[in-house]
Amino acid sequence: MPKPKAKTFEESLNRLNEIINEIDSDISIEDSVKLYKEGINLSLSLNESLNALEKEVSELMRGADGKLGVKPFREVPED
């Protein structure tokens, strides 16, 4: 049996939004729990994807010697 195609980040995020809307609608508690579980799994997967992408993001900077170099991404502090 072929492996199902992996969803893109955007597809997963859209599905998570659909789940939120479905849970907010008038559905059974059983369906709500199933959707909640799916949403948690999607949320964890999206978080892993963001963490992996964050590691890949680099910023270009000019060193003291005037040469351009690559520096790992760093978080911007919140105000």
CA distances from 20 to 13, 49, 62, 76 (A): 11, 20, 44, 29
Q: Region 69-79: what's the mean pLDDT?
A: 64
What is the band of 4 on the pLDDT scale with cuts at 50, 70, 90? low
Terminal CA-CA length for the chain:
51
Distance between CA atoms of residues 60 and 70, nearest Å: 5
The yes-or-no verdict on residue 14 having pLDDT over 70 is: yes
Decide: 9 and 46 in contact? Cβ < 8 Å. Answer: yes
Whether 79 shows a pLDDT value over 60: the answer reads no
For the chain, list the strands marked E by DSSP.
58-62, 68-72
pLDDT score at 30: 96
Kindly report, residue by residue over 19-71, the tens digit of the pLDDT. Answer: 999 999 989 999 999 999 999 999 999 999 988 877 776 555 666 777 777 76
Res 54: pLDDT:
74
In this prediction, residue 52 carries a pLDDT of 83
